[in-house]
Amino acid sequence: MGTQTMGTQISKLQALMLAISSITVTGHLLFIPVIINRAGRDCWLSLLVAAPFALFIGYMVSTLSKWYPNQTIVEYAQSIVGRWLGTLFALAFLFYFFHDAALSVRGFGEFFTSAITPRTPILVYFSAIVILAGYAVRAGLEVLARTNAMFLCTMIPIGILASILTHREKDYANFLPILEDGPGPMLLGSLNLIALYSTFLVLGMVFPQVRNARKLRAASVLTMGILIVMFLGPVTGPVAVFGGERGAGLSFPTYQMLRDIQVAELQRLDILAIFLWSLGSFAKISLYLYALTYGLQKLFKLDDYRSLVAPTGALLVAFSLLLSESFIGIYRFLQDIYPIYGLLMGFVLPALLLLIARIRRVMDSKGGPGNESERKARVRGGGGRREDNVPVRPAGR
């Protein structure tokens, strides 16, 4: 006899905290050295240029979820552009989630094997973080969101403490002269930041599970504003401490900054970075593994996403190994290719969906061609809050 499975629901705050953890740890591990290498002492200007785009990304993802309630991005892509083209969009988004998760797994392993335990095989770290993430994903989104909220409440005070402890070592004269090499490097650095902020798209897989979606758009834009502020210290700190040239040559500049600084009797502040990045990497990889498996369930109309967690996790470990022969190759990809790739997947394609959806809504409001397929899709999406999509048995059967 089957059992009825009710959908998991989380709060807006829990959903947005998932985004904060995810984007922050990716920025620290992978993007900050790339941005500093690109923009140098003008990295703070890159933050300012990228800020309006970040706010629009929050607006865009939340607006699509508001217009298509109870549907994931995999589902409303088909509602907006049709079944076949929408399926291509959905597959592109799912590959984007898979690839970003693999980059995070690789970054986590490279950090530990490069900076902490160089004799440990990197596969050990890959397997450990993916197994932990898989366990959390199988427990459900609510467990994942609650765990991340607990971690983030620990991570933010530690991050603030680390910034305060390193403040005395910072020399803001290192940011002069401004735009010495022209605006080009600064603009390239801003493209990397916009590509990083575009990973907020993953919440398109989470927002349908939000308990109360009122004011979701304002909350999303506010979250992106918080992320902009949270990156001010990590992006500018290494340049203020080490200078533009040395800061650009470090693989993990924020870790190096904490490791080199001693405050009175306090030594080995690098343990703060290890703690933060370990918790953050777990949250990021868990979120993306959930988004990927839940998206596959929705796309192929499977009974339960949990059966996909183990094989998807195994593929994630294998793909992380195959991304590049060395971490230098990963950095080159993030610097030269990812800005275009990330903007296409996380910004251009969702913006195109938003534009088409807006046109269809305007036509519908003016009495234009009936949007029957969209209305039917919304009706079908009414039960989209059930994570595993198991139909409810009629009473008495």
pLDDT at position 20 is 93
- Among residues 332, 161, 171, 329, which one has the least CA distance to residue 246? 171
Chain centroid, CA 14 distance in Å: 14
pLDDT at position 379 is 46
Q: What pLDDT band is residue 388 in, cutting at 50, 70 and 90? A: very low
In this prediction the pTM is 0.87
Structure tokens at 212: 């109360």
b/e burial code for range 273-290 (CB count within 10 A of at least 16 → b):
bbebbbbbbbbbbbbbbb
Instruction: Give me the phi and psi of 368, to 5 degrees please.
Output: -75, -160
Instruction: Give me the phi and psi of 3, to 5 degrees please.
Output: -115, 150
Q: How far apart are CA 304 and CA 240, in angstroms?
A: 50
The dihedral built from the CA positions of residue 146, 126, 91 and 360, taken in this order, carries a sign that is positive
Q: How far apart are CA 212 and CA 235, in angstroms?
A: 34
Residue 214 scores a pLDDT above 90: no
For 249, residues 6+ apart whose C-beta sits below 8 A from its C-beta are 37
For 117, residues 6+ apart whose C-beta sits below 8 A from its C-beta are none
Least confident range of 86-95, 108-117, 289-298: 108-117
pLDDT at position 253 is 83
Taken in order of first residue, the domains within the chain and their CATH numbers are 12-383 (1.20.1740.10)
Instruction: Give me the phi and psi of 221, to 5 degrees please.
Output: -65, -40
Give 125: exposed, middle or buried? Use CB within 10 Å, 0-12, 13-18, 19+.
buried
Residue 396 scores a pLDDT above 50: no
The 8-class DSSP code of residue 331 comes to H
pLDDT at position 176 is 84
pLDDT at position 57 is 97
pLDDT in tens, 335-381: 999 999 999 999 999 999 999 999 999 988 876 544 445 555 554 45
- Over the chain, what is the mean pLDDT? 86
Average of pLDDT values for 173-200?
92
pLDDT at position 172 is 84
Distances 376 to 74, 113, 263, 371, 384 between C-alpha atoms, Å: 16, 52, 62, 9, 13
Assess contact for 197 and 57: CB atoms under 8 A: yes
Residue type, 255: Y
Structure tokens at 309: 């967690």
For 231, residues 6+ apart whose C-beta sits below 8 A from its C-beta are 24, 27, 47, 193
Q: What pLDDT band is residue 395 in, cutting at 50, 70 and 90? A: very low
pLDDT at position 240 is 87
Q: How far apart are CA 193 and CA 50, in angstroms?
A: 6
Assess contact for 137 and 286: CB atoms under 8 A: yes
Least confident range of 40-44, 251-255, 285-289, 316-320: 251-255
Residue 394 scores a pLDDT above 50: no
Residue 265 scores a pLDDT above 70: no
Q: How far apart are CA 198 and CA 19, in angstroms?
A: 11
> What are 10's strand-pairing partners?
210
- Among residues 250, 280, 225, which one has the least CA distance to residue 32? 250
